[in-house]
């Protein structure tokens, strides 16, 4: 099948990272893959040799729509699969006025009117799909859930060396609670910081590491809070975290939690949307949203009890194996591709 992966914007976020991984995985499955992206964007510089590149700025100009539509016709593109807001809005126009078959991937809960006009929408969680259905009074086309996957070749248990504590400059026995994600109100790093005062009453040497761009207000900065900034080496650091905290106020999915679970790191998450689907059935500890006390109580329970910590780590790992693997993800995605393609009677399965 000929698939165009469309990603707007210059920066890297969870949706862009997912699209980057998808390019090589689909190519390995025998599909022909094109990447539609902006010149100079992070993904064009990091996607490698997995896809042929077609540059567009996704601006809503007649000439740009005509250029991309002509490309899709000339290359025989079967599906245009978009992952970011501007790309998905652009794709909706291509479907409406040029007959291009489109799938928009909803990676967040932000209002997305373009979802009305796609051939199909995929959502990273049931929570995200319901958010869009509620706001749009039912999605005009069709929608389904496709949970994100974790790559076990990248995220897995590591024995040594302990890159995380080397980076932090602390002893091997220091408990490190990690939060991964750009620092913002939605991600709730401030709640994690506030939980540390209670945690340190019981585990005085515990520290909190924040991996992601941004800074907290100075009033929340403490000696036991370390800022790591954006990390390209997160797969080498994450396996050595004692616990991963996901203190989000709202979360469509949380790939960070799945990655930690794959590394056999126990996770504590808030009841904040799609993240509950990740940690369901004991995969992680789910606590009240917006509660630093609830985070602290759960963290202390794990930090003071190594047996429980190991039990929770293995429960999370088992859940990633059963529900967030690459083969089952790609099987479900390909099924959606063929369904959308077959609407026009042109379905042809790959041999």
Domain range summary for the chain, segments of one domain joined by +:
2-149+325-342, 163-323
> pLDDT category, 205, cuts 50, 70, 90?
very high
For position 346, what pLDDT does the model report? 40
Angle subtended by helix axes 14-28 and 326-342, to nearest 10: 80
pLDDT in tens, 291-329: 999 999 999 999 999 999 999 999 999 999 999 999 999
Topology of domain 2-149+325-342 in CATH is Rossmann fold (3.40.50)
Q: How far is CA 142 from CA 59, 161, 328, in A?
A: 26, 48, 21
Please state, in angstroms and rounded to a whole number, the distance separating the CA atoms of residues 181 and 184.
Answer: 9
| Contact by Cβ (8 Å): 186, 248 | yes
> pLDDT category, 50, cuts 50, 70, 90?
low
> pLDDT category, 284, cuts 50, 70, 90?
very high
Please state, in angstroms and rounded to a whole number, the distance separating the CA atoms of residues 95 and 104.
Answer: 11
Token pair, residue 152, equals: 């076990």
Q: Would the pTM count as exceeding 0.75?
A: yes
The answer to whether residue 13 scores a pLDDT higher than 90 is no
What residues form DSSP beta bridges with 178?
Answer: 209, 244
Average pLDDT, the chain: 93
What secondary structure letter does DSSP report for 81? Answer: E
Instruction: Pick 136 or 90 by higher pLDDT.
Output: 90
The predicted model gives 46-56 an average pLDDT of 86
The predicted model gives 166-182 an average pLDDT of 96
> pLDDT category, 54, cuts 50, 70, 90?
very high
> pLDDT category, 60, cuts 50, 70, 90?
very high
> pLDDT category, 126, cuts 50, 70, 90?
very high
The predicted model gives 106-114 an average pLDDT of 90
For position 290, what pLDDT does the model report? 94
- In CATH, 163-323 is 3.40.30.10: no
Q: Do domains 2-149+325-342 and 163-323 have the same CATH topology?
A: yes
Q: Which helix (H) or strand (E) holds 278?
A: helix 275-278
For position 232, what pLDDT does the model report? 87
């Amino acid at each position: 099948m000929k698939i165009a992966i469309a990603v707007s914007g210059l920066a890297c976020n969870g949706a862009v990272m997912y699209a980057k991984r998808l390019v090589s995985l689909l190519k390995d499955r025998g599909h022909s893959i094109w990447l539609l992206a902006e010149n100079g964007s992070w993904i064009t510089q990091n996607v490698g040799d997995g896809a042929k590149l077609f540059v567009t700025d996704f601006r809503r100009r007649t000439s740009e729509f005509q250029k991309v539509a002509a490309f899709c016709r000339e290359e025989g593109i079967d599906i245009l699969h978009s992952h970011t807001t501007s790309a998905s809005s652009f794709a909706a126009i291509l479907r409406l006025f040029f007959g291009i078959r489109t799938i928009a991937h909803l990676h967040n809960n932000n209002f997305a009117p373009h979802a009305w006009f796609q051939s199909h929408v995929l959502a990273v969680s049931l929570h995200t799909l319901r958010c869009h259905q509620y706001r749009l009074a039912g999605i005009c086309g069709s929608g389904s859930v496709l949970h994100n996957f974790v790559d076990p070749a990248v995220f897995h248990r590591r024995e040594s060396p302990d890159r995380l504590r080397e980076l932090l400059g602390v002893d091997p026995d220091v408990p490190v609670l990690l939060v991964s994600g750009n620092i913002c109100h939605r991600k709730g790093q401030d709640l994690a910081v506030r939980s540390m005062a209670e945690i340190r009453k019981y585990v005085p040497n515990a520290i909190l590491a924040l991996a992601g761009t941004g800074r907290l207000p100075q009033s929340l900065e403490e000696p036991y809070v370390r800022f790591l900034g954006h990390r390209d080496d997160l797969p080498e650091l994450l396996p050595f975290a004692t616990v991963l905290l996901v203190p989000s106020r709202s979360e469509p999915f949380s790939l960070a939690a799945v990655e930690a679970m794959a590394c056999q790191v126990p996770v504590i998450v808030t009841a904040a949307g799609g993240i509950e689907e990740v940690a369901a059935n004991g995969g992680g500890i789910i606590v009240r949203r917006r509660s630093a006390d609830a985070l602290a109580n759960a963290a202390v329970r794990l930090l003071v009890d190594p047996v429980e910590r190991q039990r929770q780590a293995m429960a999370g790992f088992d859940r990633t194996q059963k529900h967030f693997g690459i083969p089952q993800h790609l099987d479900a995605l390909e099924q959606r591709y063929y369904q959308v393609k077959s609407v026009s009677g042109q379905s042809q399965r790959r041999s």
